[in-house]
Amino acid sequence: MFQTAGYKQVWLTNLLSSVANGSSRFVFVWLVKDLTDWDPAAALLGVAMGLPALFLSVPAGTLADRNAPARMGRILLALATAAFTITAIVASTEAISVRLTIGLAFLTAVPLALLMPMLQAVVPALIPADQLLQAVALQNMGLMTGMIVGAFAGGGIIVLFGTAGAVFFLAAVSALALLAFLLAELPDAPNKRTSAPNVSMAVVAREATSTEPLRTLLFLTVITGVTMTANTILLPIIARDVLEVNALLASLINAVMGIGMTITSVLLARKGQLARPGRVMFITLSVGLGTGLVLLGWSKVYVLTALFAFMWGSAGGIAMALLRTLTQLNTAPERMGRVMGLATLAQFGAFPVGALALAALVNATGPAEAMMICGAFVSVAVWSQWLRPTARSI
The more confidently predicted of residues 227 and 354 is: 227
Q: Considering the entire predicted model, what is its pTM? A: 0.69
pLDDT of residue 151: 64
pLDDT above 70 covers what percent of the chain? 89
Of 161, 138, 147, which Cα lies nearest the Cα of 49? 147
Q: pLDDT tens digit string along 285-309?
A: 888 888 999 999 999 999 999 999 9
Please, which pLDDT band fits residue 2 given cuts at 50, 70 and 90?
low
pLDDT of residue 196: 44
In SS3 terms, 84-127 reads as HHHHHHHHCCCCCCHHHHHHHHHHHHHHHHHHHHHHHHCHHHHC
pLDDT of residue 108: 92
For the ranges 33-37, 84-88, 201-205, 239-243, the maximum mean pLDDT occurs at 84-88
Q: pLDDT tens digit string along 47-98?
A: 788 788 778 887 888 887 777 888 888 999 999 999 999 999 998 888 888 8
The more confidently predicted of residues 198 and 10 is: 10
Of 167, 156, 153, which Cα lies nearest the Cα of 31? 167
Residue 301 identity: V
Using alpha carbons, list the distances in angstroms from residue 223 to 11, 29, 346: 25, 22, 8
103-117, 147-161, 227-241 — which is least confidently predicted?
147-161
pLDDT of residue 168: 92
Residue 384: CB atoms within 10 Å = 11
Give residues with Cβ within 8 angstroms of 309, minimum separation 6. Answer: 235, 253, 254, 256, 257, 260, 292, 296
Domains annotated for the chain, with CATH where assigned, are: 7-184+201-393 (1.20.1250.20)
pLDDT of residue 83: 93
The more confidently predicted of residues 278 and 295 is: 295
25-34, 125-134, 225-234, 282-291 — which is least confidently predicted?
125-134
Question: What mean pLDDT do residues 352-362 have?
Answer: 79
The span from the CA of 376 to the CA of 134, in Å, is 31
For the ranges 146-150, 219-223, 257-261, 318-322, the maximum mean pLDDT occurs at 219-223
Please, which pLDDT band fits residue 191 given cuts at 50, 70 and 90?
low
Please, which pLDDT band fits residue 194 given cuts at 50, 70 and 90?
very low
Residue 202: CB atoms within 10 Å = 9
Question: What mean pLDDT do residues 260-275 have?
Answer: 75
- Judged against a pLDDT cut of 70, whether residue 187 lies above it is answered with no
- Judged against a pLDDT cut of 80, whether residue 144 lies above it is answered with no
pLDDT of residue 369: 92
DSSP 8-state symbol, 34: H
Please, which pLDDT band fits residue 204 given cuts at 50, 70 and 90?
confident
pLDDT of residue 176: 93
